[in-house]
Structure formats: structure tokens, C-alpha cells
A and B are shown apart, each in its own frame.
Chain A
Amino acid sequence: DAKTTQPTSMDCAEGRAANLPCNHSTISGNEYVYWYRQIHSQGPQYIIHGLKNNETNEMASLIITEDRKSSTLILPHATLRDTAVYYCIVRVESGGSNYKLTFGKGTLLTVNP
């Protein structure tokens, strides 16, 4: 699985958009980008994933650059409950080592009142 690089920490004001970057310059053509988050004292939670097109769901939006070497997770209106560690993960959709998620250290997002 391709390696990802994320900032160690970020701050965001409550109500503002939080934009979390992820670099995955060695991503392969068949690897998807996944985002999970882990709120303190809980297990990780799936947020969103995508291959090349931008994706949006009720939690967030995922913007993937045209060359797929980087992506941005956007929380449109951050709340205090969004304070968590956010993990960017790349993996193939099926086959190979798809069965596992390879987590890095992630980005600690702190939403401030």
C-alpha cells in the first residue's frame, strides 16, 4: 500500500470549514483513498473514500487532485465533536493486501470554540 503523509496537528474554529491535507505521491492506479477518524477513547470511524472523482457524503467531502498525488478532506462546518485524529489511508479495492487498513499517525484536528 502507498505511504501517506499528513500534518501532525491542525486547529480549526468551530463553525468554520476544516481542510485536512494528505500527500500520497506514490499511489497506484488501483488504490483508493480512505479517511477514518478516531475520537478520543473510541475506535476509528469510517468517513469517506474515493478513487479519482471528488466525493461527498453527510459527514465530509473528499477532493482528490487530478494527478491523484494528494487529497483534502473537508469538514464543511466543524463542531467541537469533530475534534479527533484523522487518518488518510490508501489501499487497493480488492485482492492483494486489501484486507488490512494501514494507519499512519494521522492528523490531530482540534476544533476550538
Chain B
Amino acid sequence: ETGVTQSPTHLIKTRGQQVTLRCSSQSGHNTVSWYQQALGQGPQFIFQYYREEENGRGNFPPRFSGLQFPNYSSELNVNALELDDSALYLCASSLDRFTYEQYFGPGTRLTVT
């Protein structure tokens, strides 16, 4: 148990729809990162938020956006869903931007039909 939770566990959406995934970080962790993991692949970095501001971004289009709140919760929003967005979405919290250990949640499995 990492103390990081994600909701929902599973989600099915239709192409073109919008989705919001939620993450609750460990208390005291001011940094959250989001990753996308396609089947059979390693997780791919989407972006990181540090003290409620985007701190870094991977190679994902602007329709992937995020929010981080003062209560250690965060959201990943994806607009105009595409079939290729079907994946496991993982959030990871850490004490700060440069700490060596990231604590991952169990993920949200998103299926786009």
C-alpha cells in the first residue's frame, strides 16, 4: 500500500467524449505525476504538477490537462477521446520535484470505444 488512491478503477467512454480521472496523493506530498500505460508497454510520462502548477510535460497533446489542489488531490482531464487513449492511467506522488522515490497508485483502466 502506497497511500495513493485513484478513482474510478475502471471506466468506459465513447470516442469524442471527455473524461476526468482522480488521484489522492499521500499527505505532505506536494508533487504529483501522471503516466499513461498502454498494454504491454512501460508507463509513459504525461505531466507533473508541483504546488498546483505544471512543472513538466511529456509528449502528449494539449487535450490532456491536469489540476492539482491544496488538499493533495489532483485530476487528469482528457478531451475529445480517441481510441488510442485506451490505457491504464497512473498517478504518482512524491515529496517534492526532485525526490528519488515516486509512490504510484493502482491506476484507472480507461477503455475508449
Once the chains bind, are A102 and B45 in contact (CB under 8 Å)?
yes
Interface centre among A44, A87, A93 (most CB of B within 10 A): A44
Number of interface residues of B (CB under 8 A): 28
Cα distance A109–B31 when bound, in Å? Answer: 30
A98 close to chain B: CB less than 8 A: yes
B101 touches A99 (CB 8 A): no
| Cross-chain contact A44 with B100 (CB below 8 angstroms) | no
Question: Which DSSP category, helix, strand, loop or mixed, fits chain A's interface?
Answer: loop
A43 to B33, CA, bound (A): 13
Q: Is the CB–CB distance between B107 and A43 below 8 Å?
A: yes
When distances are taken between beta carbons in the complex, the residues of chain B under 8 Å from A104 are 42
Nearest to A46 among chain B residues (CB) is: B101
Known A-B contacts A43-B4, A106-B42; A98 and B106 likewise in contact (beta carbons under 8 Å): no
Is B100 within 8 A of A34, CB to CB? yes
Asked whether B48 is an interface residue with its Cβ less than 8 Å from the other chain, the reply is: yes
* Known A43-B90, A87-B42, A99-B97; 13 more pairs at CB < 8 Å: A43-B4, A43-B106, A44-B90, A44-B102, A44-B104, A45-B2, A98-B98, A99-B50, A99-B55, A99-B98, A100-B48, A100-B56, A105-B42
Residues on A facing B (Cβ under 8 Å): 32, 34, 41-46, 49, 85, 87, 93-95, 97-106
